[in-house]
Amino acid sequence: MASSESTAAQSAPSRYDEARAAQLASANINPKTGLATDYLNHFNEAVMLLEMIPDMPECSEDFLSWHPLSYAEHFKASNFKARDLAIEAYDTADPGIRSDFDDITNNMTAILTAVGEAMRQASQDATRAKLAESAVGWIKPLIGRAGGIINGQGCEADVDYIMAH
């Protein structure tokens, strides 16, 4: 009987797990992934600036002042109320989920950095506008994929959906 009680205790969520999940959820951190969508604001800011460049070429200077921030750097610099919790949850997130997330955000950072370098070398507003439009087309889908990972909708869900339809 004691072994069945310990098995039941192991399979039932502990009060600590439930309290932790509630704490994360109330801080806008996904309890299942340990990630917060607030970090995507960092990339959305760059996209917003890029989208303005074709109509207002002077906005390229604003984009060029954007600089990459890691997850922890973003939260340390932000006014996010639960920034320490966000960093701690990221640090203890499932390594597979965090790796998938980091791969996407590293790719976004590499794209935005390369576009910034190319814009600095471009002498024509039309060239900067084309670079901006291309970058937006590359980054927006990656932001969506990163959001899916944050919300617990990894690639497996995409494959299941495609196979079912």
pLDDT of amino acid 159: 44
Report the number of distinct structural domains present in the chain. 1
Using DSSP's 3-state secondary structure scheme, residue 12 falls into coil
Residue 12 reports pLDDT greater than 80? no
- Rounded Cα gap, residues 136 and 47, in angstroms: 6
Residue 46 reports pLDDT greater than 90? yes
Instruction: Write the pLDDT tens digit of every residue in 82-132.
Output: 999 999 999 999 999 999 999 999 999 999 999 999 999 999 999 999 999
CB 149 within 8 A of CB 97: yes
Cβ-based neighbour number of residue 61 at 10 Å: 11
Angle of CA points 124, 118, 113, to nearest 5°: 140
Contacts of 44 (CB under 8 A, 6+ apart): 143
End-to-end CA distance of the chain: 47
pLDDT of amino acid 13: 56
Instruction: Write the pLDDT tens digit of every residue in 58-83.
Output: 999 999 999 999 999 999 999 999 99
> Which residues span the domain enclosing 89?
2-164
- Average pLDDT (160-165) is 46
For the chain, state the CA radius of gyration: 20
Give the pTM. Answer: 0.81
Instruction: Write the pLDDT tens digit of every residue in 137-148.
Output: 999 999 999 999
- Rounded Cα gap, residues 55 and 11, in angstroms: 57
- Rounded Cα gap, residues 37 and 41, in angstroms: 7
